Every structure is written in C-alpha cells, then in structure tokens.
Amino acid sequence: MEEIESEMGEVAGGPDADAHAHGPVEAAVRQILVDIGEDPDREGLTATPARVHRMYLELTAGYKVDPERLINGAVFDVDYSEMVVVKSIPFHSLCEHHLLPFFGTAAVAYIPRGRVIGLSKIPRIVEMYARRLQVQERLTQEVADFLQEQLAPEGVGVVVEATHLCAVMRGIRKPGTIMTTSAVLGIFRSNDKTRAEFFSHLQRPAPGSP
C-alpha cells in the first residue's frame, strides 16, 4: 500500500530506485537470467533486472520503517480493560529460504492496561514486519513482542494463517496447504480462559459475511 510505503520512508520506483538502475542487484538478476538459459537482452527481459530491483525495494520496505513514525503518537489513555481483537488482516511476505511469497491473514488481540492503540496501526504493524524476509513463526512473534513493548498490556495474542508458495510451487507441491502459527504473551499465556476467549473470537464470522 502506498500509504504504508510512505510512512516507511520507502516508495518503490522512486528516485533512489532510478539511481541504482544499473547497480549490483540488476547485474545479479542479469546473471541469473543467463544461468537459467535466458537472454537478458531480448525485448521482454531488458527491463526485468530494474523491475526486480524495484520489486524487492517494495517488498522489503519494512527494514526501513521508523516504528515511532509508524505509530505517530496514536497510543491513548483509555479506561478500558476488556479484550481488543483485530482479525482478518491481510498480508504478503517473502520466505527467507527461497525468496518466494507467503500470504494470508493475521489476527491480533490485546487486553489494555489503561492504554490503547489506534485501530489502523495494528494492520500497519503487521505490514511492517511482513515487508521483510521472514519465516512465519518469527513474523508472528515479532508482532506480539512489539505490541507488548509499546503498550505494556495485560497480554497479547497473535495468530497468523498463510499459504506458502515454496510448498505449492516446489518441494512437496501441495496446493491448499495452510500453516497456522500463534504467539501468546502475558495473561494470554497464563490464563486458559483468556486464551480460549481469544480463539473463540477467531471462529466467529465477520459481520455481513455469508
């Protein structure tokens, strides 16, 4: 999303990308094309190295994020102590093992201790960590740890479900495989009832869904 990229200080295809139009990334992509038996100078491939460079700048923009700028002061003192759940957050990331995409949805919950974060910031936090080379387990834990650090809530719960193209297009080649990971901190870990409440929220259909 362009808004997220702007907040991260990285807009793919901007002046910085043009400055490196003939840099080492482009040279490496050309060499890959040669090694797989292609001609990097044929019409359809001449701009591919530059396109690949711009793509990776966009997909890994999370490395350049300033977390304070991302949150932008949207943490508020509110007398509320019940569970807050934001679910069905879409994301796309890159598997660090094969540089192939994995994508799905995330659900994030926390129980405030007098401080809440603006609703729009939670999807942006997911996006910040997704736009890095990742494994799903670490992505899940990083989102949970960040919220715990920023809000000091009673606890945090995060569940991520994703399809990995490294399992669909290569290797075991099993379309439809879904990986689920979770991270629970604080009362979500220590209290079975709280954890069960979180998971029950995930099973409820969204308003207006069939």
* Residues 6 or more apart whose Cβ sits within 8 Å of residue 159: 106, 107, 140, 180, 181, 182, 199, 202
Catalytic residue flag (residue 97) = yes
pLDDT band at 184 (very low <50, low <70, confident <90, very high): very high
Residue 152 has pLDDT above 90, yes or no: yes
Task: Write the pLDDT tens digit of every residue in 101-134.
Answer: 999 999 999 999 999 999 999 999 999 999 999 9
Q: How many CA atoms lie within 13 A of 184 on its CB side?
A: 14
Examine the residue annotation and report whether 136 is marked as an active-site residue of this protein. yes
Return mean pLDDT, the chain. 90
Catalytic residue among 95, 127, 141, 154: 95
* One fold for 2-64 and 73-203: no
Structure confidence at residue 155 (pLDDT): 98
Higher pLDDT: 5 or 39? It is 39
- Domain coordinates in residue numbering, the chain: 2-64, 73-203
Active site residue 201: no
- Which one is catalytic: 38, 58, 166, 197? 166
Q: What is the pTM of this model?
A: 0.88
Q: Residue type at 24?
A: P
Q: Of the residues 5, 7, 10, 136, which is catalytic?
A: 136
Active-site choice (98, 148, 161, 197):
98
Total residue length of the chain: 210
Q: Which fold has domain 73-203?
A: GTP Cyclohydrolase I, domain 2 (3.30.1130)
- Tens of pLDDT, residue by residue over 9-43, are 444 445 454 555 679 999 999 999 999 999 999 99
Task: Give the integer Cα–Cα distance in Å for 106 and 172.
Answer: 25
Catalytic, 98? Answer: yes
Element (H, E) at 124: helix 121-130
Which pLDDT tens digit goes with each residue over 188-200? 999 999 999 999 9
Looking at 1.10.286.10, 1.25.40.10, 1.10.620.20, 3.40.640.10, the CATH number of the domain 2-64 comes to: 1.10.286.10
Q: What is the mean pLDDT of residues 152-157?
A: 98
- Is the pLDDT confidence value at 56 over 90? yes
The predicted pLDDT at position 68 comes to 87
